Structure 1
């Protein structure tokens, strides 16, 4: 249902993404220094972010973060706050995460991936978006389902 200044609908099948316009490309940034932080076990396998929809979900959960790495070794660096998260394999066959900064990036990503897992890991076409004067929200299943508010 839509009205003036409002829109809602589902993402199309396939792989929806947008290319940054050349004049809007981010300015060069230094390589992030991997600083110490709080370490804990990760509740998800970091490789979940390597699949298309998994990476997309991570971006919804941490919209100003850049992701580097693959598999067990992922780095998230929030360019807005300087927050960091980095994952690694542990000796028991699991994973650890080290986080620092005001935003717990991996906590947000874990919750988002776990939401998707509890819904049987749907593809992007099971998600929708609602845009209104109040903001923009991506949701899973139905408009009142779990979702993520996008920055304006």
Structure 2
């Protein structure tokens, strides 16, 4: 029953925004990992965005198009949340927003993550993956 209700919920959200200006998420796979991660984080840090608007994903440097790219992007987003981002926050090579066992992750306590709104970014990423039928985050 709960899965059925969740299905109605996400369909209603997407339906109500179907005529909205699409969101365009583009990552250049020719760039290094840090630049790719920065592109993802910058997209999800944007304010005043209708996150239920249609999502168009593109991988610059790759000929792939369509729903496969969207699925790849949502999988990449969840993978990054679980494994960490190549950002320079707090002088570490990889910034992990969540720590712990793969099936039981908890939020990190680094002040730099709070100062840079990374938990807002994480929430938007998890929500987007839910809306666009991507992988779920462990424990959700």
So what's the TM-score if we normalise by structure 1? Answer: 0.29
So what's the TM-score if we normalise by structure 2? Answer: 0.31
- Which has more radius of gyration? 1
Quick check: which one's strand share is greater?
A: 1
Quick check: which one's helix share is greater?
A: 2
